[in-house]
Amino acid sequence: MIVARGLERRYGGRRVLAGVDLVVQPDDVVLVTGPNGSGKTTLLRILAGLVAPTRGELELAIDRSRIGFVGHEPLVYRELTALENLDLFGRLYRVPERRERIGMLLERFGLWDVRAVRVSEYSRGMAQRLALCRALLHDPDLLLLDEPHASLDAAGAALLDEELARLARGRALVVATHEPERLSALAPRRLALT
Amino acid sequence: MTYVSDVVALTRKDLRVELRARDTLPAMLLFVLSTLVVFHFALPAGTGATAAYGLLWVAIVFTALLGLSRAWVPEAEHGVLDGLVLAPCDRSAIWLGKTLATLAFLLAAQVVALPAFVLFFAPLDATALAGVLLADVGICAIGSLLAAMAAAGRARELLLPLLVLPLAIPLVVGGVGSAVSDDGGRFLLFLLLYDGVFAVLSWASFEYVITE
């Protein structure tokens, strides 16, 4: 699914990602760990196609439309409601039976009751859950998650753990995290960046 | 049809966001009306219509700049542009949706500004109005692309006028020419060609602007 060799990224003269090798197979769960500034976010953004590597090779045997991405930001419009945001992205991703899919995801992530509330009125945790809905809208084969537990309260984090366990069946997950022990039940491989 | 429906969805989203936030259009309306009022009192009595047409274009260009400076703000918040780039739609649809929305805001400002201009200064004939419309299209097409470039930088407000104003000069020449020249049709043709060339260039290059 993904073969990366010697991925490196520089901003100006500063190297933020140094020589990363990574192979991801369709059912893999890969945890990317490392201290702040070690390049976890940059690696995920390169894999998502948002940033080009300065050096190295990246072979993606997966269509761009089959990747789901959850970053530090929720990637949704603040002035739109959850329903309006998901409807827009559902259209752009050509999601079949869009309304049913959106309703199911909002129910699953506990946002159905606030579906008509603007995102600007959401808490960080609610916005993060909506970001997960957006990333899962098109039922991706590869899910890239950048510190998905950030901003979630204990209940939200537990819900996410359950979801990740469910999502890990039949798709690849690459998760950048400071809490690798949370996902140890998924028997993940680890990629430690320094 | 998919491309058209993507553009419609993206344009409708921009209009809906503006309807909720009311960040851009009220500022554009206030600016263009204030500018025309200032010009009305600043111009000495007996100043000819030609000078007034020039001032109309000053007001139009800077009102458009105001709208363009806000154009990508909703995408900059919450990193939405990344979300749009990740979607499998044609990326030029993002530019076209933004261009159409910005054009709608500019036209809405001019629905108020042009009657005010006629009231304060001089009449506008059909050729002059066609010139305004064509120049609007050009400013929004080029401006949406350049505003996306500027939005990626730190000095967005500083960079945008520096990028847009040099490219807006031919549009001002064409717009003023269509209003004051005896052969206004020639200037309309020039505006049409300029719009066509730069709209195609902006459409084709947008993907490279928003991806590294």
A98 at interface of B, judged by CB pairs closer than 8 A: no
Same domain, A42 and A99: no
Same domain, A71 and A55: no
Given strand A142-146, what is the order of strands in its sheet?
Answer: A67-70, A142-146, A172-176, A29-33, A189-192
Residue with more model confidence, A186 or B25: B25
pLDDT of amino acid B96: 97
Residue B211: pLDDT above 80?
A: no
Please indicate, yes or no, if residue A184 is contained in any of the structural domains: yes
pLDDT in tens, chain A (194 residues): 899 999 999 988 888 998 899 999 988 999 999 998 889 999 999 999 889 999 999 998 888 889 999 998 999 999 999 999 999 999 999 999 999 999 999 999 999 999 999 999 999 889 999 999 999 999 999 999 999 888 788 888 888 888 888 888 889 999 999 888 888 888 788 888 88
Which chain B positions have a beta carbon within 8 Å of A127's beta carbon?
78
pLDDT of amino acid B212: 61
Domain end residue (candidates: A102, A121, A140)? A140
A43 at interface of B, judged by CB pairs closer than 8 A: no
Other beta carbons within 10 Å of B85: 20
Closest residue to A80, CB basis, from B5, B16, B212: B16
Closest residue to A50, CB basis, from B5, B10, B82: B82
pLDDT of amino acid A157: 86
Distances, alpha carbon B137 to alpha carbons A41, B77, B131, in Å: 39, 26, 10
pLDDT of amino acid B92: 95
Per-residue tokens: B123? 């009449």
Find, among B146, B147, B134, the residue nearest to B194 by Cα. B134
pLDDT of amino acid B31: 96
Which backbone phi and psi does A160 adopt, to 5 degrees? Answer: -65, -40
B49 at interface of A, judged by CB pairs closer than 8 A: no
Find, among A9, A26, A27, the residue nearest to A18 by Cα. A9
Please indicate, yes or no, if residue A154 is contained in any of the structural domains: no
Find, among B69, B60, B67, the residue nearest to B28 by Cα. B67
Distances, alpha carbon B120 to alpha carbons A69, B74, B108, B117, in Å: 54, 35, 19, 5
Query: What mean pLDDT is predicted for residues B175-192?
Result: 93
* Calpha distance B194→A168 (Å, rounded): 53
> What is the ipTM for the molecules in this complex?
0.89
pLDDT of amino acid A163: 86
C-alpha count within 13 angstroms, C-beta hemisphere, residue A135: 29
Please indicate, yes or no, if residue A162 is contained in any of the structural domains: no
Residue B143: pLDDT above 70?
A: yes
Closest residue to B86, CB basis, from A69, A80, A88: A69
Contact B173, B115 (CB under 8 A): no
Residue B79: pLDDT above 70?
A: yes
B136 at interface of A, judged by CB pairs closer than 8 A: no
Please indicate, yes or no, if residue A145 is contained in any of the structural domains: no
Task: Determine the residue type at A133.
Answer: C
Cβ separation A91–B17 shorter than 8 A: no
What's the predicted TM-score (pTM) here? 0.91
pLDDT digits (tens, 9 = 90+) for B195-208: 999 999 999 999 98
Contact B146, B160 (CB under 8 A): yes
Same domain, A52 and A78: no
Mutation site for B-interface testing, chosen from A55, A92, A95 by largest number of B Cβ within 10 Å: A92
pLDDT digits (tens, 9 = 90+) for B31-75: 999 999 999 998 887 777 888 899 999 999 999 999 999 999 999
CATH code, domain with A188: 3.40.50.300
Provide the domain limits for residue A193.
1-62+167-194
Query: What mean pLDDT is predicted for residues B162-183?
Result: 93
Q: How many separate domains does chain A show?
A: 2
Which backbone phi and psi does B69 adopt, to 5 degrees? Answer: -65, -25
Domain end residue (candidates: A123, A140, A157)? A140
A80 at interface of B, judged by CB pairs closer than 8 A: yes
Cβ separation B89–A69 shorter than 8 A: no
B154 at interface of A, judged by CB pairs closer than 8 A: no
Same domain, A84 and A44: no
Cβ separation A52–B212 shorter than 8 A: yes
B79 at interface of A, judged by CB pairs closer than 8 A: yes
Which chain B positions have a beta carbon within 8 Å of A123's beta carbon?
none
* Tokens 């998919």 sit on residue: B2
Per-residue tokens: A38? 């070690």
Cβ separation A84–B16 shorter than 8 A: yes
Cβ separation A49–B86 shorter than 8 A: yes
Residue with more model confidence, B84 or B1: B84
Same domain, A24 and A47: yes
In sequence order, which residues have a C-beta less than 8 Å from that of residue B9 and are 6 or more positions away? A88, A91, A92, B97
Please indicate, yes or no, if residue A4 is contained in any of the structural domains: yes
Mutation site for B-interface testing, chosen from A73, A83, A119 by largest number of B Cβ within 10 Å: A73
Q: A20: part of which helix (H) or strand (E)?
A: strand A14-24
